[in-house]
Structure 1
Amino acid sequence: MPSGKQLRQYLLVLVVLGCAPTRPPPGVERFDPKAFPESVKGPMPGFGSFDSYWDALLAACPLILSQRGANAGHRGDTSFSTRWRVSTEYCAWLYYTPDSKYELSRLVESTSPIPPDDQDERGCTLPAFVDDKRYPANSLKHLYILHNHPGTPTNISEKDITAVVNAAKIHGEYVETREGKIPVSIVAFFSRHYEPSPTTCDGFFEYSKGSAEVVKWTPDEQGQWHREKAGAVIWENEREFRFVPAR
């Protein structure tokens, strides 16, 4: 187990950029950055549970994208800049319980101010642990870091990959489930078009610990999901890497 000092170092697994509305909606947590907790509550009300991680991911996508400010649409849209200024990211853990179920934590809303230069980035800071009072704390298996990217086109960022590395230092690189051994991963959901409500899930990017590539999942008109390579992750050593997006 990491020391207390190491846990504090790894606690903020996602770098934050963004703004937040006045009051979070039900099921969404907003934390004081000066008193950031080690855990976020679970489960998400009305979400699960799920027997399959894939079903859980597909249910989490529209749930997260439909949150206030989570979707700004395509960067080429005429009204994109206005929506982008008020956009934010939400993040959550998809975790595995002793009952062999997949659950979603409550969503965490970004609270840090948007930087003056904006940099076309948003982000979300996620606590390192889930607190689900139904189970002993050490019985939960933290599997997926989930978040949205408000604008498209987009891709996984190097900060996202670093978040997976930090999470694996705390929780291990794999989770044993009844579906098999699943690596700790991060997912970025997106919607290509702006829809105030409801918001469709047009796909997501995924990076798994130990993988040499980022993948992109998108559905066709029949609802079948397809996988394609979205970039290569080149490790220089155990700590340093380069992400090369696919052309």
Structure 2
Amino acid sequence: MAGLGLLAGCSAPREVEGVWRPSPGASPEHIPGPLKNFGPFDLAADALSAACPLILSKPNASVVALQETQPEVALRVATEYCAWLYATPEGRYEMSMLSDSSRPGDAVRGLRSCSLPPFVDDSRYAPGTLKQIFALHNHPFGTRLSAGDLRFIESMATVHDWEVLTREGRVRLSIIAFFSRSRDASAPTCDGFYQYVPATREMMLWSRTGGRWKQESHGIVTWLDARTYRLDAL
């Protein structure tokens, strides 16, 4: 298949600032950190507020406007980026580099996803001293968290602490999906994010209006089967 691709004149994906693509033989278990020119932050809220517009600024991270005019093109170019927001031994927040690699098989099925290694490799710190807390990614179409998103962070709860002690107190492991509602494709805005916390099974929507974050509970996740869940009111 690689040979056919070369004959067809396919080129390698263009480089995107801050995006890490593993070289052949690289460990699938680690993603490098920290991301340059980001953090460190003392508060999770500040780190999330900075991460949201940064991730949404990447190429095709939001295709809401394009979906209205050219839905087939939007589906083809939509790209998910993902990263870990992690706590250092000093209790401050840093972010790993971004990944834009799809989970195995998803691209063939026309699904948008992002493959995030389970651990961050930050050479400034000894192995095992970093605490992965927030699995960050964007949803190009502004949709809520998928079953795959929930299953991913639940699997991460088997290898990471469910709760981490930081400078600001205890913070729970969760997955976050940023979204933009902007109709200006060249200037996507950070309009909110969905969050799921495995420790409580609660899904929340955080929306930004007037410079402030507002939290709305979407309910408790109950699994109906391996790929389907429902939200039960609190």
Higher gyration radius (CA): 2
Q: Show the counterpart of 1:158.
A: 147
1:32-71 aligned within 5 A: 37-71=28-62
Q: Deviations over 1:40-71 (max 9, x none)?
A: 11000111111101110111011111111211
Question: Which of residues 160, 163, 176 is equivalent to 1:187?
Answer: 176
User: Comparing both chains, which one has the higher relative contact order based on Cα–Cα distances under 8 Å and sequence gaps of 6 or more?
Assistant: 1
Normalised TM-score (structure 1) = 0.80
1:123-142 aligned within 5 A: 123-142=113-132
CA distance in 2, matches of 1:41, 1:34: 15
Q: Show the counterpart of 2:7.
A: none
Q: Show the counterpart of 1:9.
A: none
CA distance in 2, matches of 1:63, 1:205: 17
1:115-130 aligned within 5 A: 115=107, 118=110, 121-130=111-120
- C-alpha spacing 1:80/1:91, structure 2 compared with 1 (3 Å): same
The answer for unaligned runs of 5 or more in structure 1 is 1-19
Question: Which of residues 150, 157, 177 is equivalent to 2:166?
Answer: 177
How far apart are residue 181 of structure 1 and its match?
A: 1.5
1:1-247 aligned within 5 A: 22-31=13-22, 37-73=28-64, 77-111=68-102, 115=107, 118=110, 121-152=111-142, 154-220=143-209, 222-234=210-222, 243-245=229-231
The answer for unaligned runs of 5 or more in structure 2 is 1-10
- Report the secondary structure of 2:41's partner residue: coil
Q: Percent identity?
A: 42
- C-alpha spacing 1:33/1:92, structure 2 compared with 1 (3 Å): farther
CA distance in 1, matches of 2:183, 2:190: 11
> What residue identity is the alignment partner of 1:77?
E
- Report the secondary structure of 1:217's partner residue: strand
- Report the secondary structure of 2:157's partner residue: helix
Q: Which segments of structure 1 move beyond 6 Å, counting only runs of 4 or more?
A: none
- Report the secondary structure of 1:24's partner residue: coil
Q: Deviations over 1:172-201 (max 9, x none)?
A: 211111222211100000111243433210
Range 85-94 or range 29-38, more displaced:
29-38
> What residue identity is the alignment partner of 1:150?
P
Tell me if the contact between 2:65 and 2:184 (Cα under 8 Å) persists in the aligned partners: no
Tell me if the contact between 2:66 and 2:73 (Cα under 8 Å) persists in the aligned partners: no
Q: Show the counterpart of 1:14.
A: none
Normalised TM-score (structure 2) = 0.84
Q: CA RMSD in A?
A: 2.7
- C-alpha spacing 1:117/1:40, structure 2 compared with 1 (3 Å): closer
